[in-house]
Structure 1
């Protein structure tokens, strides 16, 4: 089964509104004509409406110039599982959708590490994303100590089973999973393409057991962890690596465009 690659950029807590707009404008220009893969960027919450408006303006201009519309979509970096209520400081799925996003990153290791997110809270957030027709990008990954103790797949199995508990395969049709080993995020370290391929194969096998072969073969599994222009092609040459969730290297439009256009 053919799966369309997805190259996603997580901007984390970087870029003021004007910086975000300038970056997406440059990225859109550098990826014109890229039509065999999907692109997603996840700016900070406050920049989402600005980036959305800029992309609309760019696409209108591209149409007038008979250029292909940009394939860039917008994601949020987190959400709260309730739609509304007295939850000071939180942002709901309907609010994210209304601001112009179509995707949302859920369960990033930094959210787990610094903000106490659990597999159970991640499961609730995935449900909230689907209720608002957002595509959840569910992050999973092991720490360096877990890797050294050879617990990688034990950890991933637990995160997947608990994070997707109670769902049917038809409810998860647009789900994306991003394998991000915690020891490789922002460290410069990266797993080899063969190591990633082996882990992705195991993830797909688990999903086949849980939800069936059709679901497992259609779901996109991304890799994240110090992805750069010089290693993306090798990663994407593997059968079970369907894209990348890029951190630091997505902050610069030229660098990220090289990854997108691998």
Structure 2
């Protein structure tokens, strides 16, 4: 059973004070971390303060990016060694905005992924819908060429520790509609690609997230799909109430109401 993973990508939003205030507002209202994993990827300068604020809540604080080198003369880069020392367990690589705006290519992302695995930081690999036809055992399969280029040199043991996020370009952006059926098809084909290039057993265990216009209105439909194990949320994650609705998507209405009522009683008592 793959544990669901609900992750927020805050991009270049929120100051340190705003980020800490956000964590303080949500950390006692998160789902059981044994059942659903929740994470937030803030700007780099907020990582330490958010880690401190999160405490033992189970909230994962994720790096949006990191360099392939652990140290050295790389002004402005973020060290995986430093992230590991800080207690950061996840880092994102290959986001579509890093590719479009900063010219990151498959080779650069591949080096970062391998460096993260060596440092025991779990890479969240973002990939789009770039595919090619390939014949496997007499059958035509659609292979995610970009993803397999990024995974070049990643061993059988290492691939088990990777998280993949499917971010189709048609769904990334403000005002786009997230199509759950198309999202599921993309995630299913990613799993098939992993199975073809590694093993079916490994493919069945890897968590595949979907990123692109996820919001409180569509998250249940998206998360109900069998090959979607989580979501990477952009703009909709910036609001406390919206974020809590999404991370608690699995709660029944009765549970949500009971929690809200209990909070109101506690607020009155204090």
TM (norm. structure 1) is 0.88
Q: Does the 8 Å contact 2:178/2:214 carry over to 1?
A: no
1:121-157 CA-to-partner distances (Å, cap 9, x unmatched) read 1110001111111111000114xxxxxxxxx433971
Alignment of 1:116-155 (within 5 A): 116-142=103-129, 152-154=130-132
Query: 1:38 and 1:216 mapped to 2: Cα distance?
Result: 19
What is the aligned partner in structure 2 of residue 7 from structure 1? 6
Aligned match for 1:182, one of 161, 164, 169: 169
User: Unpaired runs of 5+ in structure 2?
Assistant: 133-141, 250-270
Alignment of 1:10-29 (within 5 A): 10-29=9-28
Q: Does the 8 Å contact 1:48/1:100 carry over to 2?
A: no
What is the aligned partner in structure 2 of residue 52 from structure 1? 51
Q: Does the 8 Å contact 1:178/1:223 carry over to 2?
A: yes
What is the aligned partner in structure 1 of residue 210 from structure 2? 223
1:23-64 CA-to-partner distances (Å, cap 9, x unmatched) read 0111212215464110011111010000011112xx3xxxxx
Query: 1:76 and 1:234 mapped to 2: Cα distance?
Result: 28
1:2-31 CA-to-partner distances (Å, cap 9, x unmatched) read 110000001111111111100011121221
Q: CA deviation at 1:191?
A: 3.5
Q: CA deviation at 1:158?
A: 1.4
More RCO (CA 8 Å, sep 6+):
1
Aligned match for 1:248, one of 227, 235, 248: 235
Query: 1:129 and 1:156 mapped to 2: Cα distance?
Result: 24
TM (norm. structure 2) is 0.85
Query: 2:221 and 2:63 mapped to 1: Cα distance?
Result: 28
RMSD, matched Cα? 1.5
Alignment of 1:57-136 (within 5 A): 59=56, 70-136=57-123
Mark the structure with the bigger radius of gyration. 2
Query: 1:4 and 1:39 mapped to 2: Cα distance?
Result: 10
Query: 2:190 and 2:50 mapped to 1: Cα distance?
Result: 33
What is the aligned partner in structure 1 of residue 35 from structure 2? 36
Q: Matched residue of 1:18: which SS?
A: helix
Query: 1:207 and 1:32 mapped to 2: Cα distance?
Result: 30
1:258 aligns with 2:258: no
User: Unpaired runs of 5+ in structure 1?
Assistant: 60-69, 143-151
What is the aligned partner in structure 1 of residue 220 from structure 2? 233
Q: Does the 8 Å contact 2:31/2:248 carry over to 1?
A: no
